[in-house]
Amino acid sequence: MQPIAPRGGTWSVGQGRRLVLGPRATIMGILNVTPDSFSDGGRYAGVEAAVAAALAMVAEGAEIIDIGGESTRPGATPVAPLEEQRRVLPVIEALAVQSDCLISVDTYREETARLAVEAGAHIVNDVWGAQKEPGIARVAAETGAGICLMHTGRERAKLPDVIDDQRLFLTESLRIAAAAGIAPEAIVLDPGFGFEKDGPENMLLLARFGEIMDLGFPLLVGTSRKRFVRGIIGRNDPEPDVATAATSVLMRERGADIFRVHNVAVNRDALAIADAMRAAAQGARW
Reduced to 3 states (helix: H, G, I; strand: E, B; else coil), residue 57 is helix
Residues of the chain with pLDDT under 50: 37-38, 41
49-57 CB contacts, 8 Å cutoff, 24+ apart: 50/91, 50/95, 51/91, 51/94, 51/95, 51/98, 54/29, 54/91, 54/95, 54/99, 54/101, 55/95, 55/98, 55/99, 57/29, 57/31, 57/264
Compute the distance between CA of residue 183 and CA of residue 60 in angstroms, rounded to an integer.
31
Strands 64-68 and 26-32 come out as parallel
Give the alpha-carbon dihedral of 146, 150, 155, 159, to 10 degrees: 140
Give the alpha-carbon dihedral of 74, 170, 122, 248, to 10 degrees: 70
CB 147 within 8 A of CB 126: yes
Which listed residue (226, 230, 268, 278) is catalytic? 226
278 is catalytic: no
DSSP state of 18: E
158 is catalytic: no
Which listed residue (225, 254, 260, 268) is catalytic? 260
CB 182 within 8 A of CB 141: yes
pLDDT in tens, 84-114: 999 999 999 999 999 999 999 999 999 999 9
Residue 284's pLDDT is 63
Closest CA to 69 of 59, 80, 57, 58: 80
How far CA 166 is from CA of 46, 114, 176, 209, 282, in Å, comes to 37, 27, 15, 10, 31
